[in-house]
Amino acid sequence: MEKSAKIYIAGHRGMVGSAIHRKLIKEGYENFVLKTSSELDLRNQNAVREFFEKECPEYIFLAAAKVGGIMANNIYRAEFLNDNLLIQNNVIDSAYRTDAKKLMFLGSSCIYPKLAPQPLREESLLTGLLEPTNEPYAIAKIAGIKMCEAYRSQYGCNFISVMPTNLYGPNDNYDLNNSHVLPAMIRKFHTAREENRPFVELWGTGSPLREFLHADDLADACYFLMQNYNEPEFLNIGVGSDVTIKSLAELIMNVTGYEGEIRWNTDKPDGTPRKLMDVSKLHSLGWKHRTELQEGIRMTYQDFLQKIETYAS
């Protein structure tokens, strides 16, 4: 990407988009076109087309999406499918119509079958049934991958797709009803410590294994791939190692200073047993993560503390 190129980051206020924005600024990019969701509803085809026709961004990072944890994915099934399809369809098609030089579509590790062999290789896509709780979101993301492939095949567009593992970091969502596991735990343990609660209840058994990538590492990978990767196949982005939810809880307990008890509510779902990404293809290109989990959690907890008034119950 030329330093003078016009860059559009869809979802620039979210955890992923804001991390990409910070990374690009650090690398010397200044020519951004950015719109909040209130300024541009990406679900509105006409509005998106008008925006692209007016601004003609050369490089697009498609990081906008309706996202959430197990509870949100399971409750708002129609919205997770419909909204994400609309967002990505409108942006990808408009990028093609205005001759964008390159687009990166960001998906999710939930695209893989629930019982796919571990670690998850890119070749496992569409080889089995999805995890039921987040199936609508996963189907939308799979459609995004296939849309980028189709536009590349039919129109010659340089549209690439990347599938990040579980993410965390600055600007995460700490809402207990709609957040992912790591930020939800940060808030739960912090609140329990502040209120001297004797125990914290967590969902499931604690046995599922999860991989976590810091958002700034993801942004670094996205920048690296936007510069160096132009192939039709999508790529996993992750760290290549995982921890149990129980171990994650203990790490967060330690960082937040909570000294009570953890009680596991085994009536609640665990979700997918394991979601470890095979990142051998990414490593072979020359990129590897830098932020280890404990240090990343410490940094994320500091971000939470800065936002604590927003999340006061």
Query: Is 238 known to sit in a ligand binding site?
Result: no
57 within some domain: yes
180 in a domain, yes or no?
A: no
> Is-contact 163 236, C-beta < 8 A?
yes
Annotated ligand binding at 193? The verdict is no
What are 184-193's pLDDT values in tens digits?
A: 999 999 999 9
Q: What is the separation, in whole angstroms, between the first and last Cα of the chain?
A: 44
Judged against a pLDDT cut of 80, whether residue 160 lies above it is answered with: yes
Q: Is residue 58 part of a domain?
A: yes
Please tell me the number of Cα atoms within 13 Å of 57 on its side-chain side. 26
Give a yes or no: residue 45 inside a domain.
Answer: yes
* pLDDT for res 143: 98
Question: Does 298 reside within a domain?
Answer: no
pLDDT at 310 over 70: no
Q: Beta strand pairing status for 199-203 and 274-275?
A: unpaired
Given a cut of 60, whether residue 158 has pLDDT beyond it is yes
pLDDT tier, 176 (very low <50, low <70, confident <90, very high otherwise): confident
Domain that residue 128 falls in: 7-171+211-240+276-290
Q: Using 50, 70 and 90 to split pLDDT, how confident is the model at 307?
A: confident
How many domains does the chain contain in total?
1
**Range 239-265 average pLDDT:** 97
Query: Residues with catalytic annotation?
Result: 137
Q: Is 69 annotated as a binding residue?
A: no
Determine whether the annotation assigns residue 13 to a binding site. yes
Dist CA 267 CA 205 (whole Å): 9
What's the pLDDT tens digit per position in 178-235?
678 899 999 999 999 999 999 999 989 999 999 999 999 999 999 999 999 999 999 9
Q: List the CATH number of the domain containing 224.
A: 3.40.50.720
From CA 215, how far away is CA 212, in angstroms rounded? 9
* Residue 311 confidence class, pLDDT cut points 50, 70, 90: low
- Domain-embedded: residue 184: no
Q: Determine, yes or no, domain membership for 296.
A: no
156 a known binding residue?
A: no
Judge whether 271 lies within some domain. Answer: no
